[in-house]
Amino acid sequence: MIRVCLDSNVLVAAFGARGLCTDVLAQVLNEQHLVVPDAVREETLRILTDKFKLSSKALAAVVAVLDRCEAAAASGEQSPISVRDADDERILADAVAAGVQIMVTGDKDLLDVAEQSPIPVLSPRAFLMLTRGGAL
């Protein structure tokens, strides 16, 4: 089973609207192993609460899904590559330290340096193409 980290922008889109990221989340929950760094969890819940104004019932459902996934505490490790956003560096470092094998993000800062990353960093569409093509 492949260990996958979905960045907060993917999780927010998956829980906040229907579409591509919802398909990505379903794919990972059904066929992969989702690892959620603490920073991703915190940012996802903050955005869903503050910007999407999710009800307490809807937020509890999100928390229930995230609670079923493997948590990855802050590692304190140095990022393996330089990323424009320090928060993205921390998330990548925590994901690598947790043994994540693929990171899925819509974040341009991470996608721009994907070729330098020690783990594949894919867009949601690229991830679905890879998984649906049977490459995983």
Q: State pLDDT tens for residues 2-49.
A: 999 999 999 999 999 889 999 999 999 999 999 999 999 999 999 999
pLDDT of residue 136: 67
| pLDDT on residue 80 | 85
82-95: burial string, b at 16+ Cβ within 10 Å, e else: ebeeeebbbbbbbb
Domain boundaries, the chain: 3-132
Backbone Cα Rg of the chain: 14
Query: What pLDDT does 134 receive?
Result: 67
The gap from C-alpha 33 to its chain's centroid, in whole angstroms, comes to 12
**What share of the chain has pLDDT > 90, as a percent?**
88
pTM of the model: 0.95
Which pLDDT value is given to residue 82? 86
pLDDT category at 130 given cuts 50, 70, 90 is very high
Query: Stretch 86-114: mean pLDDT, rounded?
Result: 96
Decide which of 3.50.50.60, 3.40.50.1010, 3.30.70.120, 3.30.360.10 is the CATH code for 3-132. Answer: 3.40.50.1010
Higher pLDDT, 113 or 133: 113
Q: How many residues does the chain have?
A: 136
